[in-house]
Structure 1
Amino acid sequence: MKSPAALFIALVFAILFSLIAYRVSVHFSQLPEAGDAAVASAPPAPSDAAAPEAPVRPPSQQQAADAIARASEVQAAVQAFYETNQAWPRSLAALSLGNPDQFADASVAAISIQPNGVVAISMKPHVARGGVIRLVPTAQADGAVSWECRATNYPAATRLPDCR
């Protein structure tokens, strides 16, 4: 019979190996698929010289910008609802937009409506554990709606020029 110390050491190594294998699998699950690699490596098409180029962002900031762009449909619906009803919607159902998780993709877990018309974009744990981007509407005196971006537990989003 093996000694308890040897069994304990074997158990610790098995747990460590499992944790490392899990972390590696989460890290590599974000790689593009074989079909996507050809699209990503294709040379850029020539564009109009007068058109300004979009700034090049690190992947984490690009995910944050994509998440905000993904919420634009919800943001526009909240704004239209307020302009029509002079009140903020309480949920996606009030906007006839379905479920929060229908807006999910590789980085976004869900998009929902919080009190006062706030559009909350919850990020998936492999992007930012507990990361949330909030698009906060403010009604102006003339009836227009202005938006402010705030991020919680998501440093990449706070590095965007229009999101603090």
Structure 2
Amino acid sequence: MKRVAPLFVALVLSVLLALVAYRVSVHYATVPTADDQTPPRTAPADRPEPLPMGRTPIGPGPLPPEQARAADAIERARPIQAAVDQFYAREGTWPRNLAQLGLGYPDDHEGGPVAAISVHPFGEVAIAMKPHVARGGVIRLTPTVLPDGNLAWNCRASNYAAATKLPSCR
């Protein structure tokens, strides 16, 4: 009868090494280096330019860098919020996704601290943050229909403490 224990130990070790290699590759793939010579991506004409760190239209005065990144992420979602507003006013229903709005795919909106922006049921705009900014961090902009038919937007964040410190997002 063959011994199973050495094969099991070898399997467990190879899985652990694969997990460590994956973790290291994700870390180095998402964190830019100081000597990175790649040219910066230019924003399409319909996407707003990123806000300089420390400046935000959300409140007066400079913000700490972490909160400035959160404010930048919310500002990057403004065109998508406007598209949801227009879609709801025109159709009377919520868009199901970005493609229905003619805005491509979620990762098309990557830039700055944002990994992707997507539209969820009931018009919710979800902003996924890059792992080096907030691993698993998501800012959710949820519309509420007002009596006059317009939309009011509420901001909530999960796994992203800096966003919850903004006056407009709890």
Task: Settle same-fold status: TM greater than 0.5.
Answer: yes
Instruction: Read off the aligned partner of 1:102 and give its amino acid letter.
Output: D
Equivalent-residue separation in structure 1 for 2:65 and 2:135 (angstroms): 16
Structure 1 unmatched ranges of 5 or more: 1-14, 37-52
Match of 1:160 in 2: 166
1:36-75 Cα deviation digits (max 9, x unpaired): 9xxxxxxxxxxxxxxxx94111111111000000000100
1:80-133 Cα deviation digits (max 9, x unpaired): 100111111000011000011011013111000011000000001100010000
Aligned match for 2:32, one of 25, 29, 32:
29
Q: Quick check: 1:67 aligned with 2:43? A: no
Runs (4+) of structure 1 exceeding 3 A deviation are 21-28, 30-36
Superposition RMSD on alpha carbons, in Å? 2.8
Match of 1:108 in 2: 114
Q: Percent identity?
A: 51
Shift, 1:141, TM fit:
1.2
Match of 2:132 in 1: 126
TM-score calculated relative to the size of structure 1: 0.70
Contact 1:61–1:156 (8 Å) recurs in 2? yes
> What is the number of residues matched between the two proteins?
130
Greater Cα radius of gyration, structure 1 or 2: 1
Equivalent-residue separation in structure 1 for 2:34 and 2:62 (angstroms): 19
Structure 2 unmatched ranges of 5 or more: 1-16, 41-58
TM-score calculated relative to the size of structure 2: 0.67
Instruction: Read off the aligned partner of 2:133 and give its amino acid letter.
Output: V
